[in-house]
Chains A and B, each alone.
Chain A
């Protein structure tokens, strides 16, 4: 095959005349698609602090605190795998299609969750089963009791 000199010239001059393909990032952004996995968002009103997302997240990016009633995500650890969205029983997590602004310091985004656990009734017969809402919570019966416990004991379990 024949070798030719300067075959790139046309491309180079063409690019010189065209608009650049890059965008000056913070000032302008690339469009995102519907399917883009950008960042995890939570509808905190629906969450019942069941801890499933916390346990199933492959990187341990989510930290759910039942005592403090918060749901927190470390966005630098999150790998946008969408798994938490798939497993959340209350369907309160969603994968938004835009990216968060780059952070300048490592921190977690902490979201307070307004959920009040149904108080376990003294008479078991009359208890409306909270099980359907949150199996884990009902089994362990923790949030109600834990508020009264001294902190060292709660950390022990």
Chain B
């Protein structure tokens, strides 16, 4: 990639992601509504919501909280840029983790017990999902010999053939990252939760908009991860992404919210079985193929 295409990719990511994520969320809401026998909101509703949030009054519970939120947004965008300009996957994952930590700190900065419990649960969710992300980077490395997104993207055969387990694991943690039932612990798209909106309770107006925005960037970035598994065949990749997202919506609509203990246990178990299992198998296969 030349420097110019990189800059172009970065700009496109920053500008288009919110719109894309907004449309995706809109579709998500409509499909969820239909699954619940409702008509649902207009497609552009999430975008209207975001614009409206930005227009609202700025009420500060705690100023340092807002600084942390900016960190959350910034590092999510940086992670995304690094990914879409074809950079290093490890940097992407660490930037993303740092962003989540900023988010948690932001919630801890407010004094509300709901916010605190939400932040604690968010930490647990990070603990549950992070191993799988790292496993994913390792999987790509074992399969392609590189952490560079450009190299992984340029593989002639789709990686799904060699890394099906890792792919499944990524779908699993996508549910956590998208805050869908049964994993909508720290906050939820629905306010009906014992800790109200958990980690986002104390943020309102433009600050909540920042969270939504960062969440949008994160969603696009994670879908980008999944895209890499099908990189040589873009159409198949698109179909796979649609199918995965539909499954997420379906899971959201067919599960109760579960406990954090359960989430942590199962995601680690799942990571260990499908992720590590896939890696070990791949390792032996490669050794057997090319001694």
Query: Which positions in A face B, CB cutoff 8 Å?
Result: 6-9, 12-13, 15-16, 18, 20-24
Contact = CB atoms under 8 A, between A and B. Distances in A.
Given A8-B253, A9-B254, A15 B39 contact: no
Nearest to A19: B37
Nearest to B40: A20
Contacts of A18: 37
Contacts of A6: 254
Interface stretch (B27-35, B78-86, B88-96, B115-123): B27-35
B39 A22 contact: yes
B250 interface: yes
Interface string B259-273: 000000000000000
A12 B38 contact: no
A15 B38 CA distance: 9
B203 to A, nearest CB: 31
28 contacts: A6-B254, A7-B254, A8-B255, A9-B250, A9-B254, A12-B36, A12-B250, A12-B253, A12-B254, A13-B35, A13-B250, A15-B35, A15-B37, A16-B31, A16-B34, A16-B35, A18-B37, A20-B33, A20-B37, A20-B38, A20-B39, A20-B40, A21-B37, A21-B38, A22-B38, A22-B39, A23-B39, A24-B39
**A-side binding surface: helix, strand, loop or mixed?**
loop
A20 B254 contact: no
Contacts of A13: 35, 250
A12 to B, nearest CB: 4
Interface residues of B, number: 13
Contacts of B253: 8, 12
Contact of B37 (A7, A9, A22, A24): A22
A9 B38 CA distance: 16
A20 B36 CA distance: 8
B171 to A, nearest CB: 15
Please give me the 9 A-B residue pairs with the lowest Cβ-Cβ distance, nearest first: A8-B254, A21-B37, A12-B35, A15-B37, A20-B39, A12-B253, A16-B34, A22-B38, A16-B35
Nearest to B251: A6
A12 B254 CA distance: 7
